[in-house]
C-alpha cells in the first residue's frame, strides 16, 4: 500500500503555495507509506505529483517516486503492484527504453510511452496511478480492473486534485467539507457509497476499470477500459472434475503472482475457507515457512458466549411468550 496525491492547475491563477498544499495532502496519508516520500513540480508549476512509499519491489532509492522516463517528459505517481512487469520489460528494452530500476513503476512509464492510455490493457495487477504527459499537456488517472486501489478526485478553482484517500483531498485549503445528500442517501440505503459518489459534495471516486484524462482546457474524459463480461461465451456444460481442476489452476496462478515481493510475505488467517485456501496454496508455492497472523478483540470470548446464550434461550422460548432479552420498554 502506497499513497498518491497531486494537482493539475489547468485554469486557475498561479499560486506560490501549490507545492506546499500538495505536500500537506501527501502527508495526511503518511500511514500509507512510511518508507519514503516524494514530491515533483513541473517547471511551469502547474503540475504537482506526490507519493508516500511502502517498499515492496526494489527497496533501493531507485524506486523513489514520483518517477520519470529517460528525458523527464513523462512522470508517474503509482500505488499498487504490476505482476507482469518483468514480462513487459524485454519488449520495452527492445524498443530502446532504458531502465534505471527493477521496479514495476518504471515499466508502466515506458509502456505508456509505447501505447498511451491503452497501456492499461497490458497491465496485470492492482493499481491507482497518475501519469503527467508533458508533450501532450494532459494528466491521466486510472484505477485497476476490480478497484482494489482507491482513487478520489475533485475539481476546484481551476484545478484537478486527486488522492488515494478523501482525507488527502480535505488537507487542501480549497476543498470544502460539505455533505453530499445523494451520497448520504446511498449510504443509508445500501450501507456503502458506490462509485462515483462519496459522502462529500464535489468529491468523486474514480470507478474501477476506468481512466480519466484531463487536458489543458480542463476537459475531463472518463471511460471504461475493461469489462468483466468476457468477449467469448462461457461453455454451456463442463465435467465436474474438469471444472474443479480449472478453478484450482486459476486460483493457484492468482496466488503465485501475488507472492512477488522483495520483503517477507505473510498472510492474515481467519480460519475461513477463503483465507485457508490462499494459505494452503501459498505454502505449496513458497520455499520457506509462511508466517500467518490472526486478529482478536479483547472481550470477544465473553461477547460470543452472550450471543450464544441469547440465541439458545430464544430457540427454546414457548411460542408467544415474551423474550426476557428484550428491553421492557420495547415489549
Task: Give the separation between CA 47 and CA 243, rounded to whole angstroms.
Answer: 50
Q: What pLDDT does residue 308 have?
A: 55
The boundaries of the domain holding residue 286 are: 240-293
Task: Indicate whether 316 pLDDT > 50.
Answer: no
| pLDDT range class, residue 328, cuts 50, 70, 90 | very low
Tell me the mean pLDDT in the region 184-211: 96
| pLDDT range class, residue 309, cuts 50, 70, 90 | low
Q: What pLDDT does residue 2 have?
A: 92
Decide if 229 is inside a domain. no
Q: How many domains does the chain have?
A: 3
Instruction: Give the CATH number of the domain where residue 70 resides.
Output: 3.60.20.10
Decide if 204 is inside a domain. yes
Q: What pLDDT does residue 76 have?
A: 98
Are residues 162 and 110 both part of a single domain? yes
Decide if 235 is inside a domain. no
Are residues 24 and 123 both part of a single domain? yes
Active site residue 2: yes
Are residues 219 and 244 both part of a single domain? no
Tell me the mean pLDDT in the region 220-238: 86
Q: What percent of the chain has pLDDT over 90?
A: 62
Decide if 232 is inside a domain. no
Mean pLDDT of the chain: 88
Decide if 200 is inside a domain. yes
Tell me the mean pLDDT in the region 51-78: 91
Q: What pLDDT does residue 312 have?
A: 54
Q: Which residues lie closer than 8 Å to 162 by C-beta, 6 or more apart?
A: 4, 5, 6, 7, 130, 141, 151, 152, 153, 169
Task: Indicate whether 284 pLDDT > 90.
Answer: no
- Per DSSP, the chain holds a count of helices (H) and strands (E) of 8, 14
Q: Which residues lie closer than 8 Å to 139 by C-beta, 6 or more apart?
A: 6, 8, 47, 130, 131, 132, 133, 160, 213, 214
Are residues 138 and 286 both part of a single domain? no
User: Which one has a higher pLDDT value, 103 or 331?
Assistant: 103
Final residue of a structural domain among 179, 199, 224:
224
Tell me the mean pLDDT in the region 87-98: 95
pLDDT digits (tens, 9 = 90+) for 160-177: 999 999 999 999 999 999
Q: What pLDDT does residue 317 have?
A: 43
Task: Indicate whether 66 pLDDT > 70.
Answer: yes
Are residues 304 and 157 both part of a single domain? no
Decide if 253 is inside a domain. yes
Tell me the mean pLDDT in the region 79-94: 95
pLDDT digits (tens, 9 = 90+) for 99-132: 999 999 999 999 999 999 999 999 999 999 999 9
Q: What percent of the chain has pLDDT over 70?
A: 90
Final residue of a structural domain among 224, 248, 263:
224
* Lookup: cell for 175: 476543498
Are residues 55 and 203 both part of a single domain? yes
Are residues 322 and 217 both part of a single domain? no
Tell me the mean pLDDT in the region 64-93: 95
User: Which one has a higher pLDDT value, 325 or 307?
Assistant: 307
Are residues 38 and 75 both part of a single domain? yes
Tell me the mean pLDDT in the region 292-313: 64
Task: Give the separation between CA 271 and CA 251, rounded to whole angstroms.
Answer: 18
Are residues 150 and 256 both part of a single domain? no
Decide if 231 is inside a domain. no
Q: What pLDDT does residue 314 have?
A: 47
Decide if 98 is inside a domain. yes
Task: Give the separation between CA 41 and CA 33, rounded to whole angstroms.
Answer: 20
| pLDDT range class, residue 293, cuts 50, 70, 90 | confident
Are residues 23 and 62 both part of a single domain? yes
Q: What pLDDT does residue 285 have?
A: 86
Tell me the mean pLDDT in the region 265-271: 83
- Tell me which of 72-76, 148-152, 302-306 is least confident: 302-306
Task: Give the separation between CA 223 and CA 322, rounded to whole angstroms.
Answer: 57
**177, 251, 252, 290 from 248: Cα distances, Å:** 47, 5, 6, 20
Query: Pick the catalytic residue: 2, 119, 214, 311?
Result: 2
Q: What pLDDT does residue 29 have?
A: 96
Are residues 273 and 184 both part of a single domain? no
Are residues 85 and 198 both part of a single domain? yes
**168, 200, 264 from 213: Cα distances, Å:** 21, 22, 37
Q: What pLDDT does residue 303 have?
A: 58
* Lookup: cell for 34: 512510511
Amino acid at each position: 500500500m502506497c499513497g498518491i496525491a497531486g494537482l493539475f492547475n489547468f485554469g486557475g491563477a498561479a499560486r506560490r503555495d501549490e507545492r506546499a498544499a500538495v505536500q500537506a495532502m501527501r502527508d495526511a496519508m503518511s500511514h500509507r507509506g512510511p518508507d519514503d516520500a516524494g514530491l515533483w513540480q513541473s517547471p511551469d508549476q502547474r503540475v504537482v505529483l506526490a507519493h508516500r512509499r511502502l517498499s515492496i519491489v526494489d527497496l533501493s532509492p531507485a524506486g523513489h517516486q514520483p518517477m520519470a522516463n529517460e528525458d523527464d517528459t513523462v512522470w508517474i505517481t503509482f500505488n499498487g503492484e504490476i505482476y507482469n512487469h518483468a514480462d513487459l520489460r524485454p519488449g520495452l528494452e527492445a524498443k530502446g527504453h532504458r531502465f534505471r530500476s527493477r521496479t514495476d513503476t518504471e515499466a508502466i512509464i515506458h509502456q505508456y510511452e509505447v501505447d498511451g492510455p491503452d497501456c492499461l490493457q497490458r497491465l496485470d495487477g492492482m493499481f491507482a496511478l497518475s501519469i503527467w504527459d508533458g508533450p501532450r499537456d494532459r494528466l491521466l488517472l486510472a484505477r485497476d480492473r476490480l478497484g482494489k486501489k482507491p482513487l478520489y478526485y475533485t475539481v476546484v478553482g481551476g484545478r484537478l486534485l486527486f488522492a488515494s484517500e478523501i482525507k488527502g483531498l480535505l488537507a487542501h485549503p480549497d476543498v470544502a467539507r460539505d455533505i453530499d445528500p445523494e451520497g448520504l442517501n446511498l449510504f443509508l440505503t445500501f450501507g456503502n457509497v458506490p462509485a462515483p459518489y462519496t459522502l462529500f459534495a464535489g468529491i468523486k471516486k474514480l470507478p474501477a476499470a476506468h481512466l480519466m484524462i484531463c487536458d489543458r482546457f480542463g476537459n475531463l474524459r472518463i471511460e471504461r477500459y475493461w469489462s468483466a463480461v468476457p468477449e467469448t461465451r462461457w461453455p454451456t456444460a463442463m465435467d465436474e472434475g474438469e471444472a474443479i481442476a480449472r478453478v484450482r489452476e486459476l486460483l493457484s496462478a492468482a496466488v503465485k503472482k501475488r507472492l512477488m515481493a522483495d520483503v517477507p510475505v505473510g498472510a492474515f488467517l481467519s480460519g475461513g475457507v477463503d483465507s485457508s485456501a490462499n494459505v494452503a496454496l501459498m505454502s505449496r508455492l513458497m520455499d520457506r515457512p509462511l508466517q500467518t497472523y490472526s486478529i482478536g478483540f479483547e472481550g470477544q470470548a465473553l461477547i460470543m458466549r452472550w450471543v450464544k446464550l441469547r440465541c439458545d434461550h430464544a430457540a427454546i422460548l414457548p411460542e408467544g411468550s415474551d423474550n426476557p432479552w428484550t428491553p421492557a420498554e420495547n415489549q
